[in-house]
Structure 1
Amino acid sequence: MVIQKKIYLPPPVQEREIFRYAGCREIKEEFRQQMEECLAETKGKFQYQVCWAEYPVHIDGDKLDLTFARVKSHALAKNLAGCEKILLFLATIGLGIDRLITRYSRVSPVKALWFQAIGAERIESLCDLFCEERDRELLPKGQQLRPRFSPGYGDLPLALQKEIFCVFEREKTGVFLNESLLMTPSKSVTAIAGIGTKKEIQKEEKCGSCQKADCPFKR
């Protein structure tokens, strides 16, 4: 399979998401100032990169042949129902934010918390930007991208990370997997998104906005 790689321009900052990741129940001016100071310090510290590839998928009950790996997951099988292909991707914003978090963990835990929240918002915004771009490319073909699904979510084993990293091992991603299956840089994401027809997507995702904690269509 052909692996593609792209460096993105910074996605628009979603301030409300940063406040949410920071655990702010209300947005006070003091909090806003702290956030803006930390955001300013991150300038030039991120590298928005995504690698991806498409694979055929075969589903038999809760058993999935993803081509690059075989896995058992009821939640992922439900998410991919009706799909014949998947999009596998690895996204990262680089080590810059990890360095800031480590530095300020010693001297200013409050700033470290803001950097954690900023990093979480940045990587999620990158994933959203990437998926929206792929979705626009699929639309003229009458296809649409399913919500992304990552190892460790629901009943999808975190151990799938090993097979995913085998796919991208020859690419200079700058992302590494340790023995505990954690990624470095920490603000990195691996995910699978199904590619299905628009009609199938609408049928399968009718509960996608529900608030059930175990809903496989929630990101």
Structure 2
Amino acid sequence: MNIEYENVFCYLGFGGIEPNPDTIKLVDECTHEIQDISNPKYTYEIFDIKRQNKVLFLRGSNIIFSEDDILHYLKDSSKVALIAATLGIEIDRRILLYMKTQPIKGLILDACASAAIESLFSKADSEVKSIALAQDLYATFRYGPGYGKFPLHFQFEILQALDAYRKIGLSVTESFLLSPRKSLTAIMGLRQTMPLKGENRTKCMSCSAVNCQYRKDESLLE
């Protein structure tokens, strides 16, 4: 599991500012700590799409999409991949401990864990893309609940369809937040035509939270 320091510094809000040596040292320590205590796991499954009127069903699951935003996102797709990943509960416990005893280290460990789960999730979606290509299908950008107009309650439906608690120990709270906290879910459309350059956006580019401090510079993603 590769943790990219550039992403860590982005989560910490450095932007283009060079971190000082003490910060870099703490990032090194936290990165190694995450490698030692995390329990990285992911799971995914590909479902066929059934369309009826203005509703989209995932065959073999209880998931139904009727939101215009999601229907537009999947308009050219014949299949959908559901993906879930987690770093495990010990990361959450360690972050909470440091927030109480060493707040600065807690913030840095939190940022390193965010970069780590992104890296793990990228490994999972790379596997999905490889499976899709073997079937002459192309994957869209991944799209997760809570981004753009994708309702957060789909966290529950995705985990249920993937049997994620049994497989990777991932569950969802009553407010539809993932537990463990350093986890991600998303969907990816699989289609017969290759997405155009402007279509295959990142999750940051598809999110409506344009002023988010974690949002990546879109000019770097062209």
Distance, in Å, in 2 between the alignment partners of 1:63 and 1:90 is 24
Q: Deviations for 1:89-111, whole angstroms, at most 9, x for unmatched residues?
A: 21111112111111001111111
Structure 1 contact 59–77 (Cα < 8 Å) conserved: no
User: Within the alignment, does 1:91 sit opposite 2:91 as a pair?
Assistant: no
Q: How do 1:62-81 and structure 2 match up within 5 A?
A: 63-67=55-59, 68=61, 69-81=63-75
1:20 to 10, 32, 39: 10
Residue 29 of structure 2 aligns with which residue? 37
In structure 2, give the amino acid aligned to 1:27: E
Please, what TM-score do these two structures have when normalized by structure 1?
A: 0.82
Aligned structure 1 segments of 4 or more residues deviating by more than 3 angstroms = 58-63, 207-215
Q: Which runs of 5+ in 1 are unaligned?
A: 1-9
- What is the distance in 2 between the residues matched to 1:53 and 1:213? 24
Residues 185 and 209 (structure 1 numbering): CA distance in 2 closer, same or farther, change over 3 Å? closer
Pairs within 5 Å for 1:124-163: 124-163=118-157
After superposition, the CA RMSD in angstroms is 2.6
Preserved contact between residue 49 and residue 57 of structure 2 (Cα < 8 Å): yes
TM-score (norm 2): 0.81
Q: Is the contact between residue 61 and residue 77 of structure 1 (CA under 8 Å) also seen in structure 2?
A: no
After TM superposition, the structure 1 stretch with the greater mean CA deviation from structure 2, 59-68 or 71-80, is 59-68
Partner of 1:165: 159
Match of 1:5 in 2: none
> What amino acid is the match of 2:6?
R
| Per-residue CA distance 1:56-97 (angstroms, 9 max, x = gap) | 123568642233211222222222221111111211111121
Aligned residues between the structures: 204
Report percent identity of matched pairs: 25
Q: Residues 32-74 of structure 1: CA distance to partner in whole angstroms, max 9, x if unpaired?
A: 1121122222232112211111111235686422332112222
- Give the Å deviation of 1:140: 3.7
Q: For 1:195-217, what per-residue CA distance to the aligned partner results, in whole angstroms no more than 9, with x for missing partners?
A: 112xx2324x53445967549xx
